[in-house]
């Protein structure tokens, strides 16, 4: 997601009067602004996506703690909603047949044959997709194809 797309998301949330979505988008935009100020450069699409992933991880951890505590159902529901909003801001993850096809292509390009090559294959997949794929499914598929 680019900075411009993030700004458009904020405007759409304002028009829809969706306070939770607006809050999340503003949080991401604040993180992007901090990066731009601290590193004195414009944030790339990759930077924005990595910030969204980091916020998903943080919010998910808080959600797990809230579920374990089990004393505030409203907070737990809000956190679940925040995680789903953050996930919707990311591009769709590569999975299924498209992922299998990319794995086959990557294995062929690298000439990978043994399990020792699994790290190289996963690294190449990560680079090719920007880390936006189902890693567990990919690892299982790569492992089954390499002997």
For 3-89, give the CATH class.
mainly alpha
Residue 7 is predicted with a pLDDT of 92
133 φψ region: left (φ > 0), alpha (ψ -120 to 50), beta (else)? beta
Structure tokens at 123: 């690294």
Give the separation between CA 70 and CA 65, rounded to whole angstroms: 8
Q: Where in the chain is the domain with CATH 1.10.1510.10?
A: 3-89
Residue 129 is predicted with a pLDDT of 83
Question: How many whole angstroms from its chain centre is CA 34?
Answer: 19
List, for residues 10-59, the tens digit of each pLDDT value: 999 999 999 999 999 999 999 999 999 999 999 888 888 889 989 999 99
Please state, as a whole number, how many other Cβ atoms lie within 10 Å of the Cβ of residue 35: 18
pTM greater than 0.85 (yes/no):
no
Q: How confident is the model at residue 99 (pLDDT cuts 50, 70, 90)?
A: confident
Torsion of CA 128, 131, 137, 142, to 10 degrees: 40
φ/ψ of residue 70, rounded to 5: 65, 15
Q: Where in the chain is the domain with CATH 1.10.10.410?
A: 96-145
- Work out the burial of residue 48: count CB atoms within 10 Å of its CB; fewer than 13 is exposed, 13-18 middle, 19 or more buried: buried
CATH architecture of 96-145: Orthogonal Bundle (1.10)
């Amino acid at each position: 997601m680019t900075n411009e797309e993030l700004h458009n998301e904020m405007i759409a949330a304002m028009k829809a009067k969706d306070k939770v979505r607006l809050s999340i988008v503003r949080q991401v935009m604040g993180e992007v602004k901090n990066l731009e100020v601290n590193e004195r450069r414009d944030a790339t699409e990759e930077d924005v996506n990595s910030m969204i992933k980091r916020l998903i991880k943080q919010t998910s951890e808080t959600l797990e703690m809230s579920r374990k505590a089990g004393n505030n159902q409203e907070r737990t529901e809000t956190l679940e909603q925040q995680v789903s909003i953050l996930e919707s801001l990311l591009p769709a993850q590569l999975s299924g047949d498209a992922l299998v096809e990319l794995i086959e292509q990557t294995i062929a390009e690298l000439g990978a044959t043994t399990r020792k090559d699994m790290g190289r294959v996963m690294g190449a997949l990560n680079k090719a997709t920007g880390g936006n794929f189902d890693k567990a499914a990919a690892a299982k598929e790569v492992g089954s194809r390499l002997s």
